[in-house]
Amino acid sequence: MFTALLIVHGLFAVALLGAITHQTASVWLPARKPAGSFAGRFRAVTAASYTNAIIALYVCTALLGAIIYPEFRVSIRGVLEELDVPAAMGAFELKEHFSVVGLAALPAYWYFWRQPLSEEHRRTRRALTAILAFITWWNFLVGHVVNNFRGYGG
């Protein structure tokens, strides 16, 4: 059951990673002209259209993470302590706290991305999006690496 939930958690995280990276690229590196290349088209998306999907994916990913967290605490954390890898433990502790900060930022993120977009709050939108992107990337990479210490289904 844990492995199934972990896989679903990972799939939600992958979808979230794609959506938030698209949105971040489009607000920080907007395409100036009709995009021809892959990178250009990646940046040329309509950023606002990702907002609700990002919120839903973030909440689902965090919820699944919260459900499987006790299993990590009981079995994987012990492995990390035996292997004496404090950096990995610290990175995972940061992941849990970062995910809560991201959850708390979602109401503001939703409000400042609602249509029609306000030019007055452009910087706030960009900053909130960057923070969520950083949290998502950190959590994805750390979760992936830390789980590898235990191995699949271990």
The b/e string for 81-109 (b: 16+ C-beta within 10 A; e otherwise) is eeeeeeebbebbeebeebbeebbebbeeb
70 binds other proteins (CB under 8 A): yes
Q: Residue 29 gets which letter from DSSP?
A: S
Stretch touching other proteins by CB under 8 A, among 2-10, 37-45, 119-127, 142-150: 119-127
93 binds other proteins (CB under 8 A): yes
127 binds other proteins (CB under 8 A): yes
We find the least distance from the C-beta atom of residue 80 to other proteins, in angstroms, to be: 11
Please pick, from the candidates 91, 137, 140, 150, the single residue that binds other proteins as defined by CB under 8 A.
Answer: 91
Q: How far is CA 15 from the centre of its chain?
A: 9
We find the least distance from the C-beta atom of residue 19 to other proteins, in angstroms, to be: 19
We find the least distance from the C-beta atom of residue 58 to other proteins, in angstroms, to be: 14
DSSP letter string, 46-102: -GGGGHHHHHHHHHHHHHHHHHHHHHIIIIIHHHHHHHT-HHHHHHHHHHHHHHHHH
| Chain residues that interact with other proteins, rule: CB under 8 A | 66, 69-71, 73-74, 77, 86-87, 89-91, 93-94, 96-98, 100-101, 104-105, 107-108, 110-112, 114, 120-121, 123-124, 127-128, 131, 134-135
